[in-house]
Amino acid sequence: MSVGEPQGPAGGPPPPKDPEVIEAERICREMRSIAKILPPPSGNELEIIDGQKQYGNNFYMLFHAIDDEKTKPDSWGVQMYIGNADQLYGEKWRNFLKDNEALISMVLEVSRQQRLCGKLSDHFNELIANPKSRTLALRTGTEINLKGLHADVWNRFNPLLKQVCDAMRTVGINPHSLAVT
């Protein structure tokens, strides 16, 4: 054993690292990588829009489904949300998507960021639930400013969702009928 190398009890080799801690460290590295993909947090608090932190409750899931339609056409979200829109509005729905392509594109971009934030939250919650990784979770959450990332994504997402709802109403689509519950 060389000088400066970690030592275990009685000067022997260090005990092996706990596999749960090794996995937690890997998850924290992944969280840092995901956070780098997102725009840096502005420091703003989450804004409430029409009394909600998430405009339209689960309305945003419609845009996850639109995003998944080409790559995961058989997924639950596509079947439920897109299937519902097609069934209720048919050609009107397809025309709405075509006529509002630029707005939908902006919503989809932020929707993808929201999914990344959701992944960060899932990882954080997994880590925080384990006493062996709780401190690491809190430190990483603070380091990447998890709360700030979420606030910024929802502060961009909510106004766009409201804009889409308003555009839907102008063509006779009830946005609340598309928020499957």
Query: Does residue 142 belong to any structural domain of this protein?
Result: yes
132-181 tens-digit pLDDT: 999 999 999 999 999 999 999 999 999 999 999 999 999 999 999 998 65
Alpha helical stretches, state H, 38-133: 61-68, 76-77, 83-99, 101-128
Query: Does residue 70 belong to any structural domain of this protein?
Result: yes
Decide which of 2 and 17 is more confident: 17
65-123 tens-digit pLDDT: 999 998 999 999 999 999 999 999 999 999 999 999 999 999 999 999 999 999 999 99
Other Cβ atoms within 10 Å of 140 Cβ, number: 24
Q: 99: helix, coil or strand?
A: helix
Tell me what pLDDT residue 115 has: 96
Query: Does residue 8 belong to any structural domain of this protein?
Result: no
Tell me what pLDDT residue 6 has: 58
Report how many domains make up the chain. 1
Query: Does residue 23 belong to any structural domain of this protein?
Result: yes
Query: Does residue 6 belong to any structural domain of this protein?
Result: no
27-38 tens-digit pLDDT: 999 999 999 999
Separation between Cα atoms, residue 4 and residue 2, nearest integer Å: 6
Q: Domain range for residue 109?
A: 17-36+44-178
41-62 tens-digit pLDDT: 998 898 888 777 888 878 899 9
Query: Does residue 5 belong to any structural domain of this protein?
Result: no
Query: Does residue 12 belong to any structural domain of this protein?
Result: no
Query: Does residue 4 belong to any structural domain of this protein?
Result: no
6-17 tens-digit pLDDT: 566 666 677 778
Tell me what pLDDT residue 9 has: 63
Q: What is the pTM of this model?
A: 0.85
Tell me what pLDDT residue 50 has: 77
